[in-house]
Structure 1
Amino acid sequence: MQSACNVIGNVRCVRRALIVFTLITVAAFQPAAGQSLVIKDLDALPGGYNYSNALGINERDQVVGYSITAGGNTHACLFENGVVTDLGTFPGGSNSSANAINNRSQVVGYSSTARGETHAFLFEHGVMKDLGTLPGGNYSIASGINEHGQVVGLSSNLRGYLHAVLFDNGVVTDLGTLAGGSDSGALAINNRGQVVGYSSIASGFAHAFLYDHGVMTDLGTLQDTGLSHAQAINDRGQVNGISSIASGDVHGFLYEKGVMTDLGSLPGRNDSNAFGINNRGQVVGESDAGTNPYLPHAFLFEHGAMTDLGTLPGDNFSEGVGITGRGDIAGNSTLHAILWTREK
């Protein structure tokens, strides 16, 4: 799994190491032609390091992610109506992150434990519940949740490998790997119970997968290259993610009915990454904006076109991580989580 994480999964981590720190203020977004969006700074935990990051959104515009506390730890957070709520950690733990939220306000993510392990959690009604691991494992992360409360993520097993898992009614189910693979991870689940993520294959590369009715299907790659990674799925079964291409760059993709379509990048640019999709097939992510060092801009892909969503005034980086059915977009802009909403 390390080859997959280093090339695909950690693109966002490498990118953030290059971010130039800029003061973020609440301001109106100057939208691209045809767009009617305003942007809100979702702020950060008070007294901390003034940093927050959004990772998920539901149809109520509740956004989840993490922020850095005064003690320098990352804590899972809920961003709602101008308030940043610290969801805390497991007892004795120090760090946590919230990765997804459904319309029942159930939040999933991971937290360190008093024993120094990392376990997946489900947070609801003010309580953070440990979802456990595969038998013999000591590490797990929850990445996605649907409206039925089914949770997906990954867990270590007795042999120390990481496998995609389903957490459902107190049972942790190993979803396995693609043929010849040793490691996998699940990132999203829709309301039909279809799961997407990545798995290593016999060559050692990682490929995007769709898991449906007990079968894990390899979604392949763009241009028959080495790597791909599925990151979101809607209730129509449309999948988006990232794949390498022949030039050596990476592009966001949309997979539907057996066909993987290259979403390209912003005009004249190279890389892109697709993070979220709604049931209308609108995709959000980030694309190379032509800056040096690499600092991408958030995009909205719809009707075959990729639109640059820009940044906060004076900023130079943004990304979209999730989109609601009405087109509201959660994302990040250098130091703070942000939310694009439709003008009313």
Structure 2
Amino acid sequence: MKAPWPLAVTAAFITTLALAPPASAAPAVQVTELPLPEGYTLQGPPDINARGQIAAAAVSDETRRSRIVRWDPEPGGGYDTTVLTEGPHVSSLLARINDRGDVLAPEALDLVIWDARGRKVATVASLRDLSGYSGFLPPGFNDRRQVLYGKGMGDMSGLPAAAVLWSPGGQAELTRPDGSATVDPGDLNDRGEAMGTATGTGSGFRWDGRTTTLFRGPDGESVYWMIDFNDRGQALGITHGGTRAFVNHRGVSQDIGTLGGPGTYLHPFGSGAINDRGQVAGASATAGGTMHPFIWHRGKMTDLGTLGGEATALYQATATDINNRGQVIGQSMTAAGELHPYAWHRGRMHDLHVPGFRDAVPSEINDRGQAIGRATSPTGTLRPLLWTLH
């Protein structure tokens, strides 16, 4: 249903920034603060699809009730806002949206799917069945309405005991891949292939609900964590305790190298992505001992530089996503020692800082150059922000 919100919150706040210097080389960036109802704050990162539709969860600071919200771009500009459901606060699971406009999110004690018209079309699972650990990452969700999630608890680490691939026609369960008592479900592409980690034995896996294929890192190294998966079947992961990155494709794992330092650092909670062209974005140590974001493609790693400052900690240089145009988003240090959001666009790094906001984190970018993320507003609430590169 449509949200009966006051006019003040149903119209998106829009500003346009011209990035400089030099102004002639910098893209114009339209920054949109997406509306939330009064008294509500964003819960976790929002999700965006190829059409520019956005979904997120919001929670009331006063009542502790949650709303699942979808924003749809309007032909004349601005966004139409729909509240799909409202109910008790669910702290861990986040909203996902696929390219059809379907939204996957919690409702009461269930994980459910709404279609593009806002109709509830499926109940996937009870939230009680989902492992506590997998709740910190949103389940995989593709354009076939398939869902990948973790079930149960394999040991005291809290990692799931099984991966579940749910489809509208049924579901399959993967337990003990490679003999591992625990599993990280990983990611799900639009071909219906899942990728993840047999965390107890150091193997990665591919799984389509029927056949499981195990793989190791380069030179047989243990897989520490699988990060991302594209529609060509290329899987991005890390070995060596999280300090070396590799791409696995057609049975071969290739180390992507570094920027001259001892390690390349990717993390499923913050940095590292692979697009459908096989380009990888992440962060690496340089020969000088600092951290820089990079793009890797076909054996070549390109240093994206910084916003003028130098990063000495992992969180100070991130690459959270890369689209099929090779545009990268993340965070970088400025010369003033501040951590700002950036976009790598047309061969340059551009500062996406929005005056008055702080702690801005862009999390996803689609092929239209629309980057979605979150930031703390001048009033101290967490708000959804949309940056559009032109």
TM-score category by the smaller chain?
0.7 to 0.9
Whether contact under 8 Å (2:280, 2:296) holds in the other structure is yes
Write out per-residue CA displacement over residues 57-94 of structure 1, whole angstroms, 9 at most, x where no aligned residue: 4313455777776567312323699x994263543446
Q: Give, as a single letter, the amino acid of the residue that structure 2 aligns with 1:35.
A: A
Between 50-59 and 163-172, the greater mean CA deviation after superposition = 50-59
Pick the aligned partner of 2:235 from 180, 195, 220: 195
TM superposition shift of 1:222: 0.7
1:104-253 paired onto structure 2 within 5 Å: 104-110=144-150, 117-118=159-160, 119-122=162-165, 125=168, 131-156=174-199, 160-179=200-219, 181-200=221-240, 206-229=243-266, 231-253=272-294
Whether contact under 8 Å (2:32, 2:385) holds in the other structure is yes
Distance 1:64 1:107 in 2: 16
Distance 2:58 2:152 in 1: 15
Pick the aligned partner of 1:326 from 353, 368, 371: 368
Whether contact under 8 Å (2:291, 2:310) holds in the other structure is no
Write out per-residue CA displacement over residues 94-144 of structure 1, whole angstroms, 9 at most, x where no aligned residue: 641315544445454546559965244546559987554514323323333
1:1-150 paired onto structure 2 within 5 Å: 27-33=13-19, 34-41=27-34, 50-54=41-45, 57-61=48-52, 73-78=91-96, 85-86=105-106, 88=111, 90-93=127-130, 95=132, 96=135, 97-98=137-138, 100-110=140-150, 117-118=159-160, 119-122=162-165, 125=168, 131-150=174-193
Pick the aligned partner of 2:342 from 277, 299, 309: 299
Task: Find the residue that maps to 1:76 and give its secondary structure.
Answer: coil
Distance 2:382 2:46 in 1: 12
TM superposition shift of 1:336: 4.2
Q: Which runs of 5+ in 1 are unaligned?
A: 1-24
Distance 1:165 1:42 in 2: 40
Q: Please say if 1:282 is aligned against 2:327.
A: yes
Distance 2:172 2:57 in 1: 17
**Normalising to structure 1: TM-score of the pair?**
0.73
**CA separation of 1:268 and 1:290: change in aligned 2, threshold 3 A:** closer
**CA separation of 1:43 and 1:181: change in aligned 2, threshold 3 A:** farther
How high is the sequence identity, in percent, across the aligned residues?
A: 29
**CA separation of 1:341 and 1:79: change in aligned 2, threshold 3 A:** farther
TM superposition shift of 1:309: 1.6
**CA separation of 1:268 and 1:177: change in aligned 2, threshold 3 A:** closer
Task: Find the residue that maps to 1:75 and give its secondary structure.
Answer: coil
Between 59-68 and 236-245, the greater mean CA deviation after superposition = 59-68
**CA separation of 1:153 and 1:32: change in aligned 2, threshold 3 A:** farther
TM superposition shift of 1:38: 3.2
Task: Find the residue that maps to 1:318 and give its secondary structure.
Answer: strand
Distance 1:250 1:99 in 2: 30
Task: Find the residue that maps to 1:91 and give its secondary structure.
Answer: helix
**CA separation of 1:246 and 1:121: change in aligned 2, threshold 3 A:** farther
Q: Give, as a single letter, the amino acid of the residue that structure 1 aligns with 2:182.
A: Y
**CA separation of 1:298 and 1:257: change in aligned 2, threshold 3 A:** same
Q: Which runs of 5+ in 2 are unaligned?
A: 1-10, 20-26, 60-65, 67-87, 112-125
Q: Give, as a single letter, the amino acid of the residue that structure 2 aligns with 1:226.
A: G
Write out per-residue CA displacement over residues 215-269 of structure 1, whole angstroms, 9 at most, x where no aligned residue: 0011111114233438222222211111112333221110112110111111344
The residue number in structure 2 matching 1:340 is 386
Distance 1:337 1:94 in 2: 28
CA RMSD of aligned residues (A): 3.9
Write out per-residue CA displacement over residues 6-52 of structure 1, whole angstroms, 9 at most, x where no aligned residue: xxxxxxxxxxxxxxxxxxx96324434322423244759x99x9452
Q: Give, as a single letter, the amino acid of the residue that structure 2 aligns with 1:52.
A: Q
**CA separation of 1:225 and 1:92: change in aligned 2, threshold 3 A:** closer
Whether contact under 8 Å (2:280, 2:295) holds in the other structure is yes
Q: Which has the higher contact order (CA 8 A, sep 6+)?
A: 1
Whether contact under 8 Å (2:223, 2:237) holds in the other structure is no
Q: Give, as a single letter, the amino acid of the residue that structure 2 aligns with 1:39.
A: T
Distance 1:177 1:61 in 2: 35
Whether contact under 8 Å (2:202, 2:223) holds in the other structure is yes
Task: Find the residue that maps to 2:273 and give its secondary structure.
Answer: strand
Q: Give, as a single letter, the amino acid of the residue that structure 2 aligns with 1:218.
A: D
The residue number in structure 2 matching 1:263 is 304
TM superposition shift of 1:275: 1.7
Distance 1:234 1:184 in 2: 21
Q: Give, as a single letter, the amino acid of the residue that structure 2 aligns with 1:86.
A: P
TM superposition shift of 1:205: 6.1
The residue number in structure 2 matching 1:315 is 357
Q: Give, as a single letter, the amino acid of the residue that structure 2 aligns with 1:176.
A: R
